[in-house]
Amino acid sequence: MTTDAAEKLLVEGVQELYYAEQQLVDATETLAEQTSDESASQAFSEHHEETQTHVNRLEEVFEELGEEPQTKEEQVVDALIDEHEQFAQENDGETLDRYNIAAGQKTEHYEIAAYGNVTSLADKLGHQEAADLLEENLREEQSARDELSQVGEQFDEQYVAGD
């Protein structure tokens, strides 16, 4: 692969993440408001604030790459949001709470994969400052995934195993 092709992949990957993070700012707020389980709601609230920080960091990444911040639609994120909206219309209570936790985990896994790819490309292409910023977002996504996994296990112990 040529350096130009790799640079293009990097920029497109960052554009997709920029789109995803912007969509997820709203989605995490919805999840926090919609989830009645206190631990899960708190996790979504914290990640809502973190997601806005990710948007800001991605704008710094664009600057480091010499690019204007712009989005590229990411169908995976759109599908996850659409799927959630449909489920939320038909369910509530503990069922919706558990679904929200799982939806959050799915989203984190997607973001971890996407950030892992662009971080590696940025590093290999010599964009160390951009790679460092992307790595910071990656670590925070991993932490959010871990927190949601723990919340999911606690939820299952309380509501599912106690049934």
pLDDT digits (tens, 9 = 90+) for 33-61: 999 999 999 999 999 999 999 999 999 99
Q: What is the pTM of this model?
A: 0.94
Q: Give the number of other Cβ atoms within 10 Å of residue 58's Cβ.
A: 25
- CATH T-level fold of 3-160: Ferritin (1.20.1260)
CA angle 117, 70, 61 (to 5 degrees): 50
Query: What is the per-residue pLDDT across 6-36, written as a single tens digit (0 to 9) for each?
Result: 999 999 999 999 999 999 999 999 999 999 9
Is the model's pLDDT at 96 over the cut of 70? yes
For 134, which DSSP code?
H
Is the model's pLDDT at 161 over the cut of 90? no
